[in-house]
Structure 1
Amino acid sequence: MPRKTAALVTAGLTGAAALTAGLLALAAPAGAASLPCNLTSNGSTTSATCYSGSSYTWRLVADCSDVSDPRNPSHVTTLYGDWHTGDGTETLTCGSGLRANGHLEAA
């Protein structure tokens, strides 16, 4: 194989290997970060049900906001649920007159 052709083939294989490694690096965190859970918030209550059947560790977090002035809502407190591994359900309720905005944390 002529030297120029060999250099191009080597460069092409090196580029393909780098691209494959980059795609694998991007795919791993995205898959690890997505938990198979249903998350709902309704007024002062938020809940999560996770049904992964695997060993994800997660907890529900509720940011409680006073929305008595809709133009200027203010954060009052944050509630943290228990850590769960695998399947489970958690519900958190903010105080009266507060709106719950729930999200999940993963460990």
Structure 2
Amino acid sequence: MRVKSLLALAACSASAVGILLTAPAAQAASLPCGLGSDGGSATATCWSGSSYTWRLVVDCNDVSNVKWPVTVKTLYSPWHKGDGTEALSCGGALRALAHLEAHS
């Protein structure tokens, strides 16, 4: 290839990468679910006949050093299809940080 062609290809690739990096992140689907945590435990409840398969995921964090919390373990509930409630507890002095994983 000629030098001009290589430079044009490199510029085009750089532009494409710039577009990918500056594009807004895709919005997560809104699930008809409630999610909450209280200290060392977390709960999730999904309703309205949701067609999603979901599970509760809880990171159990040691927050004894507020500046540097450390995830000690991660707990996973079984997968649920549609409506349901799930609760997980970290135990000890660990703080629960919960989120949902889902797929259709």
Q: TM-score, normalised by structure 2?
A: 0.70
Q: Which runs of 5+ in 1 are unaligned?
A: 1-28
Q: Which runs of 5+ in 2 are unaligned?
A: 1-25
Q: Is the radius of gyration larger for structure 1 or structure 2? A: 1
Contact 1:65 1:77 in 2 (8 A): yes
Give, as a single letter, the amino acid of the residue that structure 1 aligns with 2:52.
Y
User: Number of residue pairs matched?
Assistant: 78
Q: CA deviation at 1:34?
A: 1.3
Of 80, 86, 99, 1:84 maps to 80
Of 43, 46, 67, 1:47 maps to 43
Identity %: 63
C-alpha distance in 2, partners of 1:80/1:39? 14
Q: TM-score, normalised by structure 1?
A: 0.68
Alpha-carbon RMSD: 1.5
Runs of 4+ with deviation above 3 angstroms: none
C-alpha distance in 2, partners of 1:45/1:93? 4
C-alpha distance in 2, partners of 1:74/1:45? 17
Alignment of 1:28-47 (within 5 A): 30=27, 33-47=29-43
